[in-house]
Amino acid sequence: MEKGFLSILLHAHLPYVRHPEHERFLEERWFYEALTEAYIPLLKTLEGLSADGIDFRITLSMTPTLLSMMSDELLQSRYEKHLEQLIELASREAERTRSDASFGPLASKYLEIFKASRDFFCGTHRRDLTGAFKALWDSGRLEIITSAATHAYLPLSEIHPEAIRAQLRAAVLTHERILGRKPRGIWLPECGYFPGLDDLLKEEGLKFFVLDRHGILFGRPRPKYGIFAPVVCCSGVAAFGRDMESSKSVWSAEEGYPGDPDYREFYRDIGYDLDREYLRPFLNGDGSRLNTGIKYFRVTQRGPHKEPYSFERAAERAATHAGNFIFNRCKQVEFLEGLMGGQKPLIVSPYDAELFGHWWFEGPQWLGQVFRKLRSDQSVLKAVTLTEYLEDHPRNQTLEPAASSWGYKGYSEVWLNGSNDWIYRHLHKAAERMIGSARIHPAAEGLQKRALNQMARELLLLEASDWAFIMKTGTHTAYAVRRTREHLERFTKLWLEVGKNSIDRESLERIEFTDNIFPDIDYRVYSNQTTDKGE
């Protein structure tokens, strides 16, 4: 009989980076790289476990932006071309390194991986990756939950509950349209929560969410089991707390598994190592260097010296680390069970899905090994999805969680600081205008209705937390500012036209073509009135 439960949660998100107006667009590569390096390997791992009869349990949050891009025909077709290019580059690499005993086999392996990805994407699943995720959800081993429509950081929209409601409604609609079922739970973007948000979640039929540890621990009254059992808000919506100990073993740059010397070195990509002329057909139009996904070295040690990577050695390490993870979790639940007076603890371990495969190349293998070892090597720990846990343990303590996030310092500073605070007056103003327009036009038809719906799409895209986050990190700031400006511009133009009842059809069609996300949106979601909870 198990002594505790483990719930591994992967959060899968990318901002909406679809650019139909350009044949090649740098930021669109974020999506293609994520498919090749994270989502296809994740699907292969989970399908492999299923095929072997391993009864795994994972909760996966898929943001509506990611789901929308995965099911978009233009991006699917472009991804196929991207894969062909990767295969071409890997073929040239296999040829170039043919007589090199260290790198030749590595290049051949990459060629094999990319060809297998193409077969998986184009052949096995006929470009329909969301269908593959849906099939796993249907099997009961994977649970897919949602997130806010464009991953908006909700605490900074508290001033406009209608804007939050629209983020949630569009999320639930998109989930149901693409995956065939409503989500039971939500991954709040960045775990951003404030008391009262759960009422809005309840309105949309969502049953649970996840908080960083202090969101639960600082709850009122005091949570009896700390973060090792869910709590229930007065609204009836449940909140789970994130476990730090298991997070750290995977996240931490110092102590975490991904820094092992045998694992692949992320920062040594041939896109930066090889001659620019040789690479030119595979680089950006302007010839600037980029990550190709072909990396020949292992972490080795700190400093510039790196040794060639070995797929076999890395796979062995992933298996060892999976065993270590299980061993530590078993010790953790045994200790906690004693402390909790016989109550079986639940360990919730959330990770960014892109960590597995993209940043930590061996991550998907590690994940697969965790579930293989869970079945064969122990009986202390049982893996569950979050819904499964709630169904089996319906009685939980009621309390009000504390406002919190999982960002740096635990609150809103990452999304509200000197680098990005200037956007909020525009976001809030646009939300206010959207709410006003929705109230003035409660039953718009025809072109006006289309314009109002497009305004809603532009506002949702404007609210993506990614733009504020990128401004803070300073890595692609120009792009984040550009996206903020473009969505505000399109929104404002439409708002003016709706106000004058003079819609420019051609221009509206152009905007609809460019930002085609959320086809089933209904702008009237913004006209629901709620009371100001701060009063």
Contact footprint for other proteins (CB under 8 A): 155-156, 158-159, 194-195, 213-214, 217-228, 241, 243-245, 248, 328, 331-332, 335-336, 339-341, 397-399, 402-404, 409-413, 416, 418, 421-422, 424-426, 428-429, 485, 488-489, 492, 532, 534-535
Q: Judged by CB, which is closer to other proteins: 131, or 195?
A: 195
- At its nearest, how many Å lie between other proteins and the CB of residue 343? 10
- At its nearest, how many Å lie between other proteins and the CB of residue 397? 5
Q: Judged by CB, which is closer to other proteins: 304, or 394?
A: 394
Sign of the four-CA dihedral 126, 131, 137, 140: negative
Q: Taking a C-beta distance cutoff of 8 angstroms, is the pair 375, 54 a contact?
A: yes
- At its nearest, how many Å lie between other proteins and the CB of residue 532? 7
- At its nearest, how many Å lie between other proteins and the CB of residue 332? 4
Contacts of residue 71, Cβ cutoff 8 Å, sequence gap at least 6? 128, 130, 178
Q: Judged by CB, which is closer to other proteins: 44, or 472?
A: 472
Q: Judged by CB, which is closer to other proteins: 68, or 420?
A: 420
Contacts of residue 156, Cβ cutoff 8 Å, sequence gap at least 6? 192, 412, 415, 416, 424, 427
Q: How far apart are CA 346 and CA 139, in angstroms?
A: 23
Phi, psi dihedrals of residue 352, rounded to the nearest 5°: -70, 130
Q: How far apart are CA 153 and CA 402, in angstroms?
A: 16
- At its nearest, how many Å lie between other proteins and the CB of residue 167? 17
- At its nearest, how many Å lie between other proteins and the CB of residue 376? 23
Task: Report the C-alpha dihedral over residues 516, 520, 524, 529, rounded to 10 degrees.
Answer: -100
Q: Judged by CB, which is closer to other proteins: 275, or 535?
A: 535
Residue 152, strand partner residues: 464
Q: Judged by CB, which is closer to other proteins: 14, or 434?
A: 434
Q: Judged by CB, which is closer to other proteins: 60, or 399?
A: 399
Q: Output the six-digit token pair for 315.
A: 């796979």
**CA-closest candidate to residue 193, choices 231, 225, 160, 153:** 153
β-bridge pairing 231-232 and 238-241: antiparallel
- At its nearest, how many Å lie between other proteins and the CB of residue 506? 17
